Amino acid sequence: MPPTPKKRLWPRVVGAFVAVFVVLGVASAVSDALRGDAGNGRSGTVGVTAAGAAPSSGPSRTSTAVPAGASARSSNTTPTVDPAAAKSQIAKSTHTRKPSAALAELAALRVKGRAPKTAYTRGQFGPAWTDDVTVAGGHNGCDTRNDILARDLTAITFKPGTRDCAVLTGTLHDPYTGKTIVFHRGIGSSDAVQIDHVVALSDAWQTGAQQLSAAQRQNFANDPLNLQAVDGPTNESKGAGDAATWLPPNKAYRCTYVTRQVEVKTKYHLWVTPAEHDAIARVLRTCGGTAAAATTPSITPATTRAMTPSPAASTTRAPLPAAPAQTAPLSAGCTPLSNGGHCYKLREFCAKRYRGTAGVSADGERMVCRDNNGWRWEPV
């Protein structure tokens, strides 16, 4: 029997050395790339994009990682707005109208009962505190909760490594209670300061938000106009209450509070319940007498309409229901709005001088003169 040939080992040895050198070379290249990006103030993403984003140590204004609490579905994870400009936009978005203007807006809101709460979940308003929105602060690389904490707290510090996004400490001068609260980020302490939806999500769902698109509801839940950092227990006591069932304990803030509710409901085309409408109107009328100026103009049209009709006039108007163009300004059964609006019939053409003004139909439905295939009276 011929001797068994010896196995050659050198191909295996050479192959092993080659594999080691390849691994070391790739690791060195990636390491150098990451160090270079860090030095330029950017997150290291070289060689990671195709395989998926690397986990982040925390929310970041300029990191490509999705911030904690932000939408995992966002396709735009890098900031598309300047962080400083975003802060300015967030601050400006909380400007509130004067009581007189708020009363006029309140008068233009629809008044009706609540819709069923059927199918309501928090998820109907998108991922909590997502940055993937088109309202102020959206796409700035920081989640909404931290945006609002940074806006409403003073003497704030940020968690290291989050590029001035995650608020670590700060002081809240709580508008709902008038108390001063020291905030410390952490398990068991963060809830001392909560972010309140001025118009609660559940309330919005039952007063028109069901008709909004998913993107509009996501904007609603993250709109700085509708958000306020407040005392945690007080926020929990509010629940989903509207102005008819809950107002801030700090009476000095109530006027600002209901004014923001009116602004939010106007912006997102929501309605108010009768009790809510009356509660808001009562608060606005107590705001230093400013609201009285808003109600004064309604005295003149109300008096004029009360004095103008006479038995003879009623008799002559009775046969004219088929002539809407002539009877529209004096439709039976309607009353002028407190902001001086008049009575017209829905979807009737409106004169140029009424464009953009509010009115109410003979059935009591609020409407506005807007361009809809011609300028017509349309539901608000």
**What's the average model confidence in pLDDT over 320-339?**
37
Average pLDDT for 105-128: 96
Average pLDDT over residues 112-123: 96
- Residue 374 banded pLDDT, cuts 50, 70, 90: confident
In the structure, what pLDDT confidence band is assigned to residue 317 with cuts at 50, 70 and 90? Answer: very low
Q: Is the domain of 238 the same as that of 336?
A: no
Question: Residues 160-166: what's their mean pLDDT?
Answer: 95
Which residue did the predictor score with more confidence, 75 or 209?
209
Vertex 326 angle, CA 322 and 327, to 5°: 70
Same domain for 255 and 179:
yes
* Same domain for 144 and 191: yes
Residue 70 lies inside a defined structural domain of this protein = no
Name which of 374, 325, 365 is nearest 346 in CA terms.
Answer: 365
At 41-50, the pLDDT tens digits run: 333 332 332 3
Domain ends where: 253, 275, 291? 291
Same domain? 93 vs 242: yes
pLDDT surpasses 80 at 157:
yes
Of residues 320 and 199, the one with the higher pLDDT is 199
End-to-end CA distance of the chain: 103
pLDDT of residue 310: 40
CB neighbour list of residue 136: distance below 8 Å, 6 or more residues apart: 86, 89, 90, 92, 93, 223, 224, 225
pLDDT of residue 96: 65
Whether residues 237 and 162 share a domain: the answer is yes
Q: Mean pLDDT check: name the lowest of 94-103, 115-124, 271-280, 327-336.
A: 327-336
Q: Is residue 311 in a domain?
A: no
Q: Identify whether 235 is part of a domain.
A: yes
Q: Same domain, yes or no, for 154 and 91?
A: yes
Report the number of distinct structural domains present in the chain: 2
Question: What does the pLDDT read at residue 85?
Answer: 60
> Model-level pTM?
0.57
252 & 339 share domain = no
pLDDT(52) > 50: no
115 within some domain? yes
Strands 180-184 and 193-197: unpaired
What is the rounded average pLDDT of the residues 251-269?
Answer: 97
pLDDT digits (tens, 9 = 90+) for 349-360: 777 667 777 776
Residue 141 reports pLDDT greater than 60: yes
Q: Which of 161, 133, 127, 166 is nearest to 149 (CA)?
A: 166
| Residues 139 and 280 both lie in one domain | yes
pLDDT at 131: 96
pLDDT value of residue 350 = 74
Whether 314 is covered by a domain: the verdict is: no
Does residue 39 have a pLDDT over 50? no
pLDDT at 313: 36
> Is residue 121 included in any domain, yes or no?
yes
Which range of residues forms the domain containing residue 328?
Answer: 320-379
Residues 188, 253, single domain; the answer is yes
| Together in a domain, 240 and 117 | yes
Amino acid 46: pLDDT: 29
What pLDDT does 209 receive?
98
Nearest to 191 by CA among 144, 232, 158, 150: 232
Share of the chain above pLDDT 70, in %: 56
* Contact indicator for 369, 354 with CB cutoff of 8 Å: yes
144 pLDDT tier (thresholds 50, 70, 90)? very high
Place of tokens 């919005």: 204
Inform me whether the pLDDT recorded for 4 exceeds 70: no
CA angle in degrees (0–180, nearest 5) for 300-266-118:
125
Number of C-beta neighbours around residue 44 at 10 A: 18
* In a domain? residue 218: yes
284 and 159 share one domain: yes
In this predicted structure, the answer to whether residue 337 has a pLDDT above a threshold of 60 is no
Q: Which helix (H) or strand (E) holds 178?
A: none
Residue 126 included in any domain: yes
Residue that wins the pLDDT comparison between 12 and 169: 169
Residues 328 and 198 in one domain: no
Quote the pLDDT of residue 70. Answer: 38
